[in-house]
Amino acid sequence: MNKSVGILGIGSCLPEKVLTNFDLEKMVDTNNEWILQRTGISERRILDKESPAYEVGVQAAKRAIDSAGITAEDIDLIIVSTETPDYLAPSTACIIQREIGASKAAAFDVNAACTGFVYGITVAQQFILSGMYRYVLVVGCEALSKVIDWEDRNTCVLFGDGAGAAVLGTVEAGYGILKTYISADGSLGQSVTIPGCHMTEADIEKRIHENKKVIWMDGSEVFKFAVRAAAQAVQKVLDDYGMSMDDVKLIIPHQANIRIMQGIAKKLNVSIEKIYSIIHKYGNVSSASIPLALDEIVREKKISKGDNIVVVGFGGGLTWGATLIKWNIEI
Ligand code: UT7
C-alpha cells in the first residue's frame, strides 16, 4: 500500500465541573478508598444538566481542525463515535457539522460504545484510502452522566463526560495507521447495556429504578473480557504488521479501570510505564477516553515523529479493537 492515512490534528474538551470521590461519598454508599483502589479514579468531569454533550464535541472538533491547519470547510466527512447521543435523530455528527460550519461534509454517528474511537478512525481510514474523501473528522463525544442512575454505586462512580477529536488525512508513506483491527461479539452484549427505545423485562429487573433508561453493567464479566480482548487486539496488530512490543513507545488503552490496564500490561508482558493513563482525573469517558489521552500526550510532547503507538479500545457490544500508528506529526 503506497498511500498512508494518519492523524493530522487532534483536540479535546472537558466540562469544567469536577465531581470528586468525596462528592460521591455524600451521594451514595461509597468511599474514596474503595473507588481509588478498585478503579484508580479520583475525580471526573460532569456536564451541567442543561448542557448537551455536543457542546464539548464542537470544541474538541474545532481544536482538532485548528491543529490540523485546515478549516471546517475542508472537512469531507464527520464521524462521531458516541453511545450517549443528545438525540437519536439528528445524529451528533450532524449537529457538530452544523455548529462548526462544515457545510461540505457528510456526517454520521458510529456506536461501538467504548471502542467507538477505534472504530471511527478505522472507518475514516477506508474512506481516505479509497480516494472518496480527503479530510475526515472523527469525534469521540460522550455524556455518560446523562445515562447514570446516581443512586447506583456500581456504576455512578465510574464514568465521566468529555470529547476528543482527530482530523485524518493522507500522510507520508510508512507513517500514520500501520495496522488496524476491529471486532465484536454480540452474543456477550447483555453484559453492559444502555436502553434506547425499548426495554425488556430483564433490563427492567436489573435496574434499581426499574423504568429508568440508565447504564447497567456486569462489572466483573466486562473486566475479564476487557483484559483478554485488549491484550489480544494489541498483539494482533503488532503480529499482523510484523512489529514487536519493544518497538512500541506507548499503549493508549480505553480508560475504564487502572486494574484493567495493569492486567493488559501483565498479559502483554510490558512495563505499566508503557500504558498511558488519565483515568485518575477523568474516569471512564467511553469513546472519548482514547482521543482525550492522545491529545494530552501530544500537548505534553510525550511522543515524537516516528514513534510507534497502539490505541486499544474495548466495551459495550461487546466490541474491541486496536490501531498501530507510526506518529506522523513533528511535535
Ligand atoms: O467502559 C466499558 C468497559 N467497562 C469496564 O471495563 C468496567 C469493567 N469492570 C470494572 O472496572 C470493575 O468490575 C468495577 C470497578 C465495576 C467493580 O470492581 P470489582 O472489583 O469487580 O468489584 P465487584 O463488582 O466485584 O464488587 C465488590 C464489592 C461488592 O460488595 P460485596 O458484594 O462483595 O459485599 C460491591 O457491592 O464492592 C461493592 N461495591 C462498592 N463498594 C463501595 C461496588 N461498587 C462500590 C462502590 N463503593 N462504588
CA angle 192, 193, 199 (to 5 degrees): 150
The fourth-level CATH superfamily of domain 178-326 is Thiolase/Chalcone synthase (3.40.47.10)
Pocket of ligand 1 (CB under 6 A): 30, 34-35, 38-39, 114, 153-154, 157, 219-220, 222-223, 226, 256-257, 260, 284, 315
In angstroms, rounded to a whole number, what is the distance separating the alpha carbons of residues 157 and 233? 27
Asked if 4-174 and 178-326 have one fold, the answer is yes
Closest approach atom of ligand 1 to CA 284: 1
For residue 208, give the DSSP letter. Answer: S
Distance 234 CA to ligand 1 centre (A): 25
Q: What is the pLDDT of residue 1?
A: 56
Check residue 3 and give its pLDDT: 86
Would you kindly state where each structural domain of the chain is located, as residue ranges?
A: 4-174, 178-326
**pLDDT at residue 84, rounded to an integer:** 98
Mean pLDDT by 10 residues, the chain (331 residues): 90 98 98 98 97 98 98 98 98 98 98 98 98 98 97 97 98 97 97 95 91 92 98 98 97 98 98 97 98 97 97 98 96 78
The number of CA neighbours under 13 Å toward the Cβ of 48 is: 4
Q: Which of 38, 144, 221, 223 to mutate to test the pocket of ligand 1 (most atoms within 8 A of CB)?
A: 38
Q: Per the structure block, which three cell numbers stand in for 81? A: 463515535
Q: What angle do CA 60, 106, 69 make, to 5 degrees?
A: 45
4-174: CATH topology is Peroxisomal Thiolase; Chain A, domain 1 (3.40.47)
- Catalytic residue ranges: 114, 254, 284
Counting atoms of ligand 1 from 1, which one is nearest the CA of 156? 48
Q: For residue 219, how far is its CA from the centre of ligand 1 (angstroms)?
A: 6
Residue 212 pLDDT: 83
Q: Whose CA is nearest to atom 10 of ligand 1?
A: 219
For residue 191, what are the contacts with CB-CB under 8 A and spacing of at least 6? 217, 218, 221, 222, 225, 318
φ, ψ at 134 (rounded to 5°): -95, -50
Q: How far is C-alpha 2 from the geometric centre of its chain's CA atoms?
A: 29
Give the contacts of 208 (CB within 8 A, at least 6 positions apart). 149, 151, 152
